[in-house]
Amino acid sequence: MKNIIILLFLANVLFAQKIAKIDSGSINGAAYRIIFPENWKGKLVMYAHGYEFMGSPLQSKNPEWAIRMKPFTERGFAVAASDYRNQGLALAQGVDDTEALRQLFVKRYGLPDSTFMAGHSMGGGITIATLENFGKNYAGGFPMCPLAGRIYLQTRKEFDLIATFNALFPGNMPSLMEILNKNQSNNPVPMNVAFGKAMALKKVIFAKDSLLAADIADRFDLKPDDLPFALAFGENVLRDIAIKGGGNPYDNTNTLYGGFRDNLLVNQNVERLSATIGQDKLFSKYDRTGNIDKPTLVLHTIYDQLIPAEMAIVRYENLIQEKGNQAFYTVKFTNGQGHCNFTPEQTGKAFDELREWVKTGIKAKAGYIK
């Protein structure tokens, strides 16, 4: 009965969007889905999804995915998306599997009139890495709330958040030594378990010292209410990295933490670890270079609890400026409060600005989108 309900829901979604055709299958173990609108105009969006908790339902099985793609399909674009060969941190696999799917699309349906690369969150990082390495195949890129900075630095933020939290709220979360143990179980941690952890953690820490919790949140550009889930999410990411990499790529033995009310207390009590594997084991392939030569429009919310603007924009912009590629990069922001919290209208407006940039050669202006 549950499967019938899902199929009926999907049928209603596709009917409402006038989806004419769905192509699905698998390439090298990575499932994919391609949707074609009735008014398909020979144009294509290659879409990359964000970080998925291990064991989460695959994107290709999610009936709501087609709704999220409506800003593209209602403009006459087909959308092709890979599930990637593995869940969790899969930036390199996402780039390779997306490129494999693009090649299949061209072989099966011919070369599109124009092709854009787009993605949310980690998928935004895949979008940027794709433009840096396979940009010749694209007219432009549309990374949304992207994991745009160097992957080591982004995930190091999760490491430092847990390290400093444990220094100020000892005994409420596992140690970093435990989280980054290469011999831990490979069993996935479902998202609902992480949410449950976050809710339990919230009760404990706010009862103990809500002002101190707010202090930590502020240090990491978080709203206090978002601190518990950021911690639970970060724990999951670090465990995923330890399992995939076979160890700990982070070293904070020489780190001096700042930005707290009592920096001395934090640095005296923080857990110190030495790296057991090199950064390049997981982070070197398709790491950021700033080498883009196609119009790239970044869309970001004014507040993001998982990828703050500094991570999504500033650090990558430094690479862009170092390479002298500012002409290919612009940032639009919305009033959204939360990770990738855009309205379909905002997404559509930003995408239209990118398309106009590609069409006219006049760079889209950075700034606010209502």
The sign of the torsion formed by the CA atoms of 273, 276, 282, 287 equals positive
**pLDDT 10s digits, 286-322:** 999 999 999 999 999 999 999 988 777 778 899 999 9
User: Which amino acid is present at 333?
Assistant: F
| 8 A C-beta contact, residue 162 and residue 176 | yes
The sign of the torsion formed by the CA atoms of 248, 254, 260, 261 equals positive
User: Which amino acid is present at 232?
Assistant: A
Cα angle 108-350-329, degrees, rounded to a multiple of 5: 85
Tokens 């950064």 belong to 279
User: Which residues in the chain come in under a pLDDT of 70?
Assistant: 1-17, 187-190
DSSP sequence for 221-288: T--GGGHHHHHHHHHHHHHHHHHHHTS-----TT----SSTTHHHHHHHS-----SS-THHHHSTT--
The sign of the torsion formed by the CA atoms of 70, 73, 77, 80 equals positive
**Helices 91-109 and 122-134 sit at what angle, rounded to 10 degrees?**
60
Cβ count near 152 (within 10 Å): 18
How confident is the model at residue 329, as a pLDDT?
96
Pick from 105, 107, 89, 362: which is nearest to 116 by CA? 105
How confident is the model at residue 188, as a pLDDT?
58
Fill in the DSSP letter of residue 212: H
CA distances in angstroms from 169 to 145, 255, 356, listed in the order given: 30, 19, 51
How confident is the model at residue 17, as a pLDDT?
56
| 8 A C-beta contact, residue 311 and residue 339 | no
Domain with CATH 3.40.50.1820 in the chain: 2-149+288-368
How confident is the model at residue 182, as a pLDDT?
87
Instruction: Return d(Cα 149, Cα 316) in angstroms, integer.
Output: 5
| 8 A C-beta contact, residue 18 and residue 49 | no
DSSP sequence for 41-55: -SEEEEEE-----TT
Instruction: Return d(Cα 191, Cα 236) in angstroms, integer.
Output: 9
Say what the pTM is. Answer: 0.92
Say whether 173 sits in a helix, a strand or coil: coil
As given in the structure block, the two tokens for residue 75 are 């403009």
Please list, in sequence order, all residues whose beta carbon lies within 8 angstroms of the beta carbon of residue 187, skipping any fewer than 6 positions away.
Answer: none
Helices (H), the chain: 2-17, 65-68, 70-73, 91-109, 122-134, 151-168, 176-179, 191-219, 227-245, 263-269, 280-283, 309, 315-323, 344-360
Share of the chain above pLDDT 70, in %: 94
| 8 A C-beta contact, residue 6 and residue 74 | no
How confident is the model at residue 173, as a pLDDT?
92
DSSP sequence for 243-258: HHHTS-----TT----
Topology annotation, domain 2-149+288-368: Rossmann fold (3.40.50)
Q: What Rg do the C-alpha atoms of the chain give, in angstroms?
A: 21
How confident is the model at residue 6, as a pLDDT?
43
Pick from 310, 352, 370: which is nearest to 142 by CA? 352
As given in the structure block, the two tokens for residue 278 are 């090199």
How confident is the model at residue 313, as a pLDDT?
79
How confident is the model at residue 189, as a pLDDT?
67
